[in-house]
Amino acid sequence: MTVQRLRVVRATAKPAAERTGGIMYPAADRPVVLNRKTISDLPAESLLAIFFLLRDCWPPVVPPSDFEQDSESELDSEGDEEYSEEEGSRSGSDSLRGIKGRQPAREAGPRDLGWIVLTHVCRRWRQLGINAAPIWTDLSFALIALGHRWTTTMLNRAQDLGIRIVRGESTCNDNPRLMDYEAEFIVSHLDKIVELRLLDINFIELEQILEDKPCPAPRLRVLELTEGSDATWEDGPPILNCPMPNLRSLALHFCGVPWTLDIFGGLVYLELGFEFEGVEGHSLYPAYPQLFDVLRKASATLQTLKLDMLGDRSSGRGSDEGSKPAVSLPHLTLLELSGEPCFIVRIFRHLGIPDQAQFNLCPRYWPREDDAYHSDLASMLQCRIDAPHPKQLITHVDIQYELNTLSLMVRPSAKSLHRFRVSIERPRSDFSNWWIESLFSSLKLPALTSMKIELPVPTSPILPDSFGALAYWQTVQSLSLCEEHTLRQLLPHLHSDDILPYLKSVSLSGAWKQDLSGKAKAWSDLHGDVQSFLTRGKLRQRLQSIVLLSNSSDLSDSLSEALKAHYPNVTVRSLWPLGL
């Protein structure tokens, strides 16, 4: 979600209870007053919802360079520790609203304090924001870089709720002195942190402090680390040695895993990434016996497991784990395996997960038929498809060629989660055709009744004269084709009367030359391929329903009447009432 930066404009000189707010958009020449109601008329719960939305979508912004020096000088100052709420608010709001008081060294703007500005538009907004402690619990380091005073202010406002810290955002300031301050801040407040994410950073300062003296983190529930520094600890970063009795979510990306530490019991979310892409002979390959032991420790509570391995194709061979029993994960609801097919096959083969669990398989490539892993992957998928529970039968398949993704679902609903998803990270140029046909030729989907297909915009035709995958879709009763380029490539294969013998309905989106919301539709607006399909296609004559979907809510009665007269099984429907 993209949020435009808003500029809060000084209100008219009225009493506080009678002020109205004006909001100027970047391209506007003057303020636009959204309504005539006073700020006091806006319910408190609505204001708080706005504050939370802005906090999550509009991250704090590091101040310009001429203010960074002020921030650093604050870090060095040992005096002036007393900092009132009134003084703290003026730094972000006085210059905006023109209130008399201490004048800043330069003209401040909403850029200085990000979303905090909107919590200080007026006295009522400010008081409401200050009293809402959960708003102030997110202490990203982009905000901490604004200085010690605002950090202290946010800590005070958060009260005793616990704080969240994310380090590694693009707006972070990598000034060495600030990084030292950030490391010391984490260590000194580790007892208050409930969520800590250090993402792809060179943050050796923190690691060195904790290596000498681990600190307890009694409230920490979520920890995510992505190694980005030159120093690599094969037994895991030093922060993992800190006591974390309440840890429930752990994500370690491309850093050593402390297999022997007692931090895995009680986890509900575990994500591990092994190896560095393009680095041969690195020591961070997955240690399979240790990995399985860790999963056994977490098996009583684990609900989400994500594993990713980047390495050579031979790293999964030569295992003696085949005779050992599977690791049972009875509470698992989502399994995601990414990387080399050999890694995916080896891990998946040794896991026992519930039939109703979702899983995503994301191999870096899909082997040809002569590769042993092709049959292994297909057979494992088939075992899951053949699960005996009737409510878990696969009835719908969603194919997105451009994303190289195939999703197998229990029902064709936007609210229905997929049971399986197979995505290819690095396909070959001829991937789309042979992968889909190869996969469907290996799988049996006896309950399949509906499909949704979206093809990419072709630079050249991607479908052969004979689209072999159609032979495996004979049980399909409902077919949804997305966008005009999908229609153009697939419709020619649907003219024969012996194709898809049980097909009853087809829905077409992107059937119009211009699908503008304010323009009524006419027959001439349909693409030529769609007109040909309706007038000459044999398949159209035996279908019970053909739905032409449109982004427009203005669908002309004349078109509907003409279609009803000549093609009684064809209807035009707007996407909007469907909530799509």
* Cα 209 to chain centroid, rounded: 33
* Cα 548 to chain centroid, rounded: 31
- What burial class does residue 89 get, using C-beta atoms within 10 Å of its C-beta: 0-12 exposed, 13-18 middle, 19+ buried? buried
* Cα 7 to chain centroid, rounded: 29
Alpha carbon distance 269, 249 (integer Å): 5
- Under a CB-based contact definition with an 8 Å cutoff, are residues 235 and 263 in contact? no
DSSP state of 33: -
Strand partners, 250: 223, 270
Per-residue pLDDT of the chain (580 residues; tens, 9 = 90+): 343 443 433 333 343 333 333 333 334 444 444 455 665 677 888 889 888 888 887 765 443 433 344 443 443 333 333 333 443 434 333 333 333 333 333 344 434 566 777 777 788 888 888 899 998 998 876 666 667 777 888 888 998 899 998 876 544 555 667 777 778 888 888 999 999 998 765 567 677 777 777 888 999 999 998 876 555 566 677 888 889 999 999 998 877 788 878 899 999 999 998 764 444 444 445 578 888 999 999 999 999 999 988 765 544 444 445 545 579 999 999 999 988 778 888 888 889 888 888 888 888 766 555 566 777 878 888 888 886 666 678 888 888 876 667 788 877 765 556 677 877 665 555 455 666 777 788 888 888 899 998 876 765 555 555 567 777 888 999 999 887 778 777 777 776 667 788 889 999 888 888 776 666 777 888 888 888 888 876 777 888 999 988 877 666 667 777 788 888 888 888 776 544 4
Could you count the other beta carbons within 10 Å of the beta carbon of residue 298?
23
pLDDT of residue 194: 95
- What burial class does residue 136 get, using C-beta atoms within 10 Å of its C-beta: 0-12 exposed, 13-18 middle, 19+ buried? buried
Kindly tell me the sign of the dihedral angle through the C-alpha atoms of 441, 442, 448, 453.
negative
Alpha carbon distance 333, 339 (integer Å): 20
154 token code pair: 């946010």
Could you count the other beta carbons within 10 Å of the beta carbon of residue 41?
9
pLDDT of residue 514: 78
Alpha carbon distance 238, 521 (integer Å): 65
Beta strands in 248-366 (DSSP E): 249-253, 269-274, 304-309, 327-328, 334-339, 351-352, 358-363
pLDDT of residue 414: 54
Strand partners, 287: none
pLDDT of residue 505: 92
Helices and strands per DSSP (H, E), number in the chain: 16, 20
182 token code pair: 């950030």
- Under a CB-based contact definition with an 8 Å cutoff, are residues 128 and 48 in contact? yes
pLDDT of residue 26: 38
> Phi then psi for 442, rounded to 5 degrees?
-95, -20
Alpha carbon distance 348, 334 (integer Å): 13
Question: Domain residues of the chain, as ranges?
Answer: 1-136, 449-580
pLDDT of residue 264: 93
- Under a CB-based contact definition with an 8 Å cutoff, are residues 193 and 168 in contact? no
- Under a CB-based contact definition with an 8 Å cutoff, are residues 239 and 229 in contact? no
Alpha carbon distance 40, 47 (integer Å): 10
Inter-helix orientation angle 148-158/65-76, to 10°: 70
